[in-house]
Structure 1
Amino acid sequence: MDLPRSFVIREGDLRILNPFDAEKLAALGRAVKLRPGTSILDLCSGKGELLCTWARDHGTVGTGVDISTAFTAAARERAAALGVADQVRFVHGDAAVFVADQPVDLAACVGATWIGGGVPGTLEILERSLRPGGMLLVGEPYWRLDPPDQETVAACHARSRDEFRDLPGLVGIFQECGWDLVEMVLADQDSWDRYAAAHWLNLRRWLDDNPDDELAGELRRELTEDPVRHVRYQREYLGWGVFALMRR
């Protein structure tokens, strides 16, 4: 059980594996008013930056679960580097079926609602581990502009226009599922650029070092196609944010 090797290559030395920069991640922690001892479950925790920096800055504790062995190892290294290894732990496993041993104050899935087949199913997964009165954090794309055709939809990694909603429509989904939206921090085009462009540099450096690798052809095509796809479609049409929810 692991992610394909291409994911590890693409993310390279990135610590935040979504279109958030360190300032936005810190702003999110402040916005939801974290307190010392707040318990967090982070499903699809990646390299653990959310749990590790919030443990350092706010005194929180928690568990991260991710399917990637490489990302889980990097998260443990990050916890040790920041001196918070006694506050957080990282589990290699399937986030879709993980349930915390004890209900947590905050349950998060930031940018991986595929684990529940979309937002409603992911909210159900997160709520299994949430204490009454606790908070969910969900990271999810939304349409900034209505995509004019299927070419635009596909370039934004959606199977159909209905796979994502516009921002009012996404907020409507939260409400239909019985959750109040109580905070949000949105990515902007600059943070999208920083995330996307970092992939291009990671890919190019890897290709220079591994020209004969079996993945070289696939990743060469990606490096050729993705910059055009990003500037033509993704940065204009696709938004992304993290939304804080409490059960109505």
Structure 2
Amino acid sequence: MDIPRSFTIRESTHRIHNPLDDAKLAVLGRALRPAPGWSVLDLACGSGEMLCTWARDHGTTGTGVDLSATFLASARARAAELGVADRVEFVHADASGHVADEPVDVAACVGATWIGDGVPGTVELLRRSLRPGGLLLIGHPFWRLDPPDQAAVEGSHATGRDDFLPLPDLLAQFGALGCDVVEMVLADQDSWDRYVAAQWLNTRRWLDENPEDELAPVLRAELTDAPVRYARYQREYLGWGVFALMDR
């Protein structure tokens, strides 16, 4: 049970597996003001940066669930580095359908709404772990600009225009699900650059070290095209943000 190896190659040095950089992640924590002792459940937690840094900075506790054994090893190492290994734990499992044993103060899925087959299902899944009055965190893409054609859609890693919504429509969707939007922190083009360009460097270094690997031709072709495709389409048209929600 694991995620595709190509993903762990691209993001082998990432601590945050989305375009929210460490400064914006810290902004999110300060904005939400989690109290010491709050419990956080992070589904599809990746390398656990949010859980670890919030435990250090705000005194929270938490559990992260992820399919990637590689990323969870990084998460445990990060927890030890920050001195919070006694406050966070990481579970190697499919986050789809995972429900906490006890209600938590914050239930999060930051960038992996596939675990609930989209935003509505992910919101409902997170609700099953949340205490009354707690916070839901959803990380999700949106269209910054309306893509003019199918090339722009596919260049932004979507299959169709309806895969994502414009930001006002995404906020309205949260409302239609019975949630108040109480905070949001959005990626910008610079934080997108840092996230995506690091994938290119990771891929190139892996290719140099593994020229005979069966994945090498695939990743070589990807790296050849990725920078131009990103600059032409994704950087211009695709936004991304973390949205804090409370049930009405």
- TM-score (structure 1 length as normaliser): 0.99
Q: For 1:50-89, list aligned pairs within 5 A.
A: 50-89=50-89
Output the CA distance in 2 between the equivalents of 1:2 and 1:153. 28
Q: Which residue of 1 aligns with 2:113?
A: 113
Q: For 1:17-166, list aligned pairs within 5 A.
A: 17-166=17-166
Q: Which residue of 2 aligns with 1:240?
A: 240
Q: For 1:171-182, list aligned pairs within 5 A.
A: 171-182=171-182
Q: Tell me, what secondary structure is at the counterpart of 2:96?
A: helix
Deviations 1:112-146 (A, max 9, x none): 01111110010011001000111100000000000
Output the CA distance in 2 between the equivalents of 1:236 and 1:163. 17
Aligned AA (1:221): A
1:168 partnered with 2:168: yes
Q: CA RMSD in A?
A: 0.6
Output the CA distance in 2 between the equivalents of 1:42 and 1:213. 33
Output the CA distance in 2 between the equivalents of 1:17 and 1:192. 11
Output the CA distance in 1 between the equivalents of 2:234 and 2:129. 34
Q: Which residue of 1 aligns with 2:219?
A: 219
Output the CA distance in 2 between the equivalents of 1:43 and 1:69. 14
Output the CA distance in 2 between the equivalents of 1:222 and 1:128. 39
CA apart distance, 1:13? 1.2
Output the CA distance in 1 between the equivalents of 2:154 and 2:113. 18
Aligned AA (2:82): L
Deviations 1:52-101 (A, max 9, x none): 00000000001000011111111111111111000000000010111101
1:191 partnered with 2:197: no
Aligned AA (1:163): D
Q: Tell me, what secondary structure is at the counterpart of 1:233?
A: helix
CA apart distance, 1:12? 1.5
Output the CA distance in 2 between the equivalents of 1:191 and 1:95. 26
**Structure 2 portions without partners, runs of 5+:** none
- TM-score (structure 2 length as normaliser): 0.99
Output the CA distance in 2 between the equivalents of 1:222 and 1:186. 27
Output the CA distance in 2 between the equivalents of 1:196 and 1:17. 10
**Structure 1 portions without partners, runs of 5+:** none
Output the CA distance in 2 between the equivalents of 1:125 and 1:159. 25
Identity value in percent: 69
Output the CA distance in 1 between the equivalents of 2:200 and 2:66. 24
